[in-house]
Structure 1
Amino acid sequence: MTENVTVERTHNYLRQIKGSVLYKGIAVSASFLAIPLMISYLGVAQFGIWSTLLTIMSWVVFFDLGVGNGLRNKVAESLAKDLPDEARNYISSAYSLIAFIAVGLWLSFAFLSYFVSWQDVFNTTLVAEEELRYAVQVAITFMLINFWVGLITALLGALQKSALVSLGQLFTNVFALVVVYLLSLFCEGSISQLSWMYGIALLGGNILLSLWFYRKYKYLTPIFMLRRDHVAPLLSTGIQFFIIQLAVLVVFTTDKILITQLFGPEHVAEYEVVFKLFSIVTFLHMLISSPLWSAYTDAYHRKDTVWVVRMLRTQLKLYGVVIVGLLVLAFLAPFIISVWIGRDFSVSISLVALVALFVAITTWNNIFAVMLNGAGAVRVQLYTAVAAMVTNIPLALLLVKFFGMGVGGVVLAATLSLLFSAVLLPLQVFRLLRKEADLA
């Protein structure tokens, strides 16, 4: 390992942050502007249904068996070892495998969707059963196509080009904003119309990124092939990521389902608006931490422990800034929401405080999870994620039904379930780095 590699890794990390700040800033702004337009276009109750539908759509990405994350690590590792042909073989096998999975999922869903009462799922009679089914089918179809095309984000991460992922999100969010604005002017509120427009926006960004990527990195262009010696490592690493993703799915995305079933879809709007506001902090922190995943992979396989430790210390210092930001945002939240959404839209102060606490714990965990993901040492993270998955929903039901905590009880349950990771992930990082130092 040369000093030049270390310096270039650090410089590239800073470049990715700068690019992400610009692209992500515009993307987040467009996303925020779209919220009041969507509420105006659909109404509060239908917006709650749409928000819940987006949650169901997000579940699809977890059926890749962790192949995307496994691909990111394997490609980054291969390139760190100067093995581009091996990287291309991993890419080819990943695309081929995901294509088979996506087709199988689409056929299964197309059949099973007719046996599901979607009005019961969304706890509403406001939208006809046929329109709900059609909207879900359209949304899931686009998500499954993007399931395959979206592997480009893993590859951009592997090559430490994460700023371009934010550029794709910029395209998606700006396109969605323009479409929602036009729909609000010329059309009546329709979830099925929104499903089409959102799906096109989601797919378009990743298609543009793919065209750019394979034009620049022609030597990584995949071919149709499934090699067992490449699929097995992808799945071996990927299955662990998949279980972690599944646990994250339960903790992070079932809240809207629980709120819809326990309180009704109109209560999802309050939850969504508060979470959207605090996602400012999450987004900003992800801008800083996301580029580190593959940078950690590169440093770990080059035995550059000093660089890893230095970056972790920097992340912990920045966490202090995150806490201050959360406190300020919690204090200003009612005022910001009244200006953003309207004075008639009220939110609970207790919900604001609980969401701030949830984001604080999530951000803390992310500091250490990114390093462990990069190193491929995810066993402890897997155990803590499963523990969170098992405890989240029962704890939410306990807090809501027996302690009468309302919507805030759902958020507090998710927060408490993350405490396993908050304690054990830092310990795992310390042990891993100490082991590497002893071997050096």
Structure 2
Amino acid sequence: MNFHFHNILGGSKRTSLLKKNIAASIFIKGISILSSLLLVPLTLDYVNKELYGIWLTLSSIVVWINFFDIGLTLGLKNRLTEALTTHDYARGKSLVSTTYFMMLAIFIPVSIVVMLLIPFINWPELLNVPTIYNKDIQIVLYLLVIFMTIQMFFNVLNTVVSAYQKTAMASLFAMLGQLLSLLLIFILTRTTPPSLIGLAFAISLSPIVVLIIFSRILYTSSFKEISPSYKYIDLKQIKDLFNLGIKFFIIQIQVIVLYQSTNIIISHISGPEAVSQYNIAYKYLGISTMIYNIILTPLWPAFTDAYALKDYTWMNRIYKKMCLVYSIVLFGIIILIALSPYLYYFWVGDKIEIPFEITLCLGIFLAVNSWDSLQVYMINGVGAIKLQTYVVLIGLIFHIPLALFLGNKMGTIGVILSMTCINLIYSVIFTTQINKILKHKAHGIWNK
């Protein structure tokens, strides 16, 4: 079989840009994943597996704040891509400026409310951890809320980068943030005793520093024509962003409930050590989807561009070739599952034991989720997301009760099974939708 990866996406001008993003992202993401893998044993050297599990759960809780952007950044991605395609830089500058303004207007009051609520929750009982951690948990949550608010503001840059179809650059930001975290935690292991607060500073502050530096650089050079300015804030643009953004908002809530609640549910049912097991297995198996996710990320703005120009031939060709990439991902998942007992020991030693059943169930989930992601990225690029806003209510309504029910009977495996079942339903519906769109047979809600 003569398989050449560099040929898999064809050779049009749009595809050439995709290839450049993919080639750069593979290198950058490779370093990023390596640093992420190194971060696990280094963190377990700094704090024990219980504290690591608590940290993972707390950081998941704060991610819930993300959905308060009402999908504006995802709406911006599509609208800004359209503006750049038509070289309407004045509209682009207005969209970017208004989005930054709205991030401040939304997240400052939301963060204040969240911080006021923190002292009134019994965190040790909720997370199934000893009460001696209560004070540290509250301090870490205050820090995470502050850092998350700042990061959400500067994260608009990632959306702008995606609209310019320079997604490799966004991968660079993430990689540099992880390398900085790695350096800071290494310093902490040599200079300070184990601390959740120290861990929060090292991991949460790093990406903000990177985004601030690159915002300054890019908005005075490559992105100067659409750099944010208070003079270009136009509240009339909010409606345009909101009309598309509110649909993404509903989808975002579901994503957070379906994925970010998992750590909380597992911690509540089985304790923080089980959270560590789940996350380490997830990071390990995520290696198999690295290149796949690198390709998916630039597909969103590329499909927006292609759909705006009604280039169905290109979209159909890419979809067929991405199905081939997916088959390679499946093979990678199977190999990693088979080798997991040996590679876990090589990676984290005897610091923590990962049950094979968790790895197997997560592998099945990732196989289903990866197929679903392919459909969703293309549908999001086209902008036909009305059906998605209804379908994701399945996860929004049923995941937590189903995960609690199955989790109480089967532990961590039950929680993973809940996510798998819901993603399987999504996959069937969204595969039908994207095929209808690509074959010009999408009518009514299938094309809205």
RMSD between aligned alpha carbons?
1.7
* Matched-pair contact (CA < 8 Å) for 2:44–2:351: no
Q: For residues 140 and 190 of structure 1, what CA distance do their matches in structure 2 show?
A: 18
- CA shift digits 1:256-288 (9 cap, x unpaired): 101111111121111111111011123332101
* Matched-pair contact (CA < 8 Å) for 1:80–1:302: no
TM-score normalised by the chain length of structure 1: 0.95
Q: For residues 351 and 60 of structure 2, what CA distance do their matches in structure 1 show?
A: 26
- Name the counterpart of 2:307: 300
What amino acid is the match of 2:300? W
Q: For residues 415 and 92 of structure 1, what CA distance do their matches in structure 2 show?
A: 39
2:23 is the alignment partner of 1:18 = yes
Q: 1:94 aligns with which of 95, 99, 103?
A: 99
Equivalenced residues, count: 432
Q: For residues 133 and 228 of structure 1, what CA distance do their matches in structure 2 show?
A: 36
Q: For residues 354 and 133 of structure 2, what CA distance do their matches in structure 1 show?
A: 29
- CA shift digits 1:61-120 (9 cap, x unpaired): 221100110000000011112211111111111111111111111221232222223323
Instruction: Provide the secondary structure at the position in 2 that maps to 1:99.
Output: helix
Q: 2:238 aligns with which of 231, 242, 252?
A: 231
Q: For residues 31 and 119 of structure 2, what CA distance do their matches in structure 1 show?
A: 39
* Matched-pair contact (CA < 8 Å) for 1:380–1:424: no
- Name the counterpart of 1:218: 224
Instruction: Provide the secondary structure at the position in 2 that maps to 1:254.
Output: helix
2:154 is the alignment partner of 1:137 = no
- Name the counterpart of 1:291: 298
Q: For residues 148 and 200 of structure 1, what CA distance do their matches in structure 2 show?
A: 14
- Name the counterpart of 1:389: 396
Q: 1:398 to 1:199 in 2, by over 3 A?
A: closer
2:167 is the alignment partner of 1:162 = yes
- Name the counterpart of 1:316: 323
- Name the counterpart of 1:205: 210
Q: For residues 395 and 142 of structure 1, what CA distance do their matches in structure 2 show?
A: 32
2:380 is the alignment partner of 1:373 = yes
Q: 1:184 aligns with which of 173, 189, 193?
A: 189
Q: For residues 226 and 233 of structure 2, what CA distance do their matches in structure 1 show?
A: 16
**CA shift for structure 1 position 386:** 1.4
- Name the counterpart of 2:289: 282
Q: For residues 263 and 376 of structure 1, what CA distance do their matches in structure 2 show?
A: 40
TM-score normalised by the chain length of structure 2: 0.93
Q: 1:378 to 1:320 in 2, by over 3 A?
A: same
- Name the counterpart of 1:195: 200
- Name the counterpart of 1:173: 178
Instruction: Provide the secondary structure at the position in 2 that maps to 1:280.
Output: helix
**CA shift for structure 1 position 189:** 0.7
- Name the counterpart of 1:3: none
- Name the counterpart of 1:30: 35
- Name the counterpart of 1:355: 362
- Name the counterpart of 2:118: 113
Q: 1:124 aligns with which of 129, 147, 152?
A: 129
What amino acid is the match of 2:288? V
**CA shift for structure 1 position 433:** 2.1
* Matched-pair contact (CA < 8 Å) for 1:364–1:422: yes
Q: For residues 347 and 171 of structure 1, what CA distance do their matches in structure 2 show?
A: 29
- Name the counterpart of 1:340: 347
Q: For residues 418 and 380 of structure 1, what CA distance do their matches in structure 2 show?
A: 15
**CA shift for structure 1 position 41:** 1.1
Task: Note the residue ranges of structure 2 that are not aligned, 5 or more in a row.
Answer: 1-10
Identity over aligned residues, as a percent? Answer: 28
What amino acid is the match of 1:358? F
Q: For residues 244 and 326 of structure 1, what CA distance do their matches in structure 2 show?
A: 27
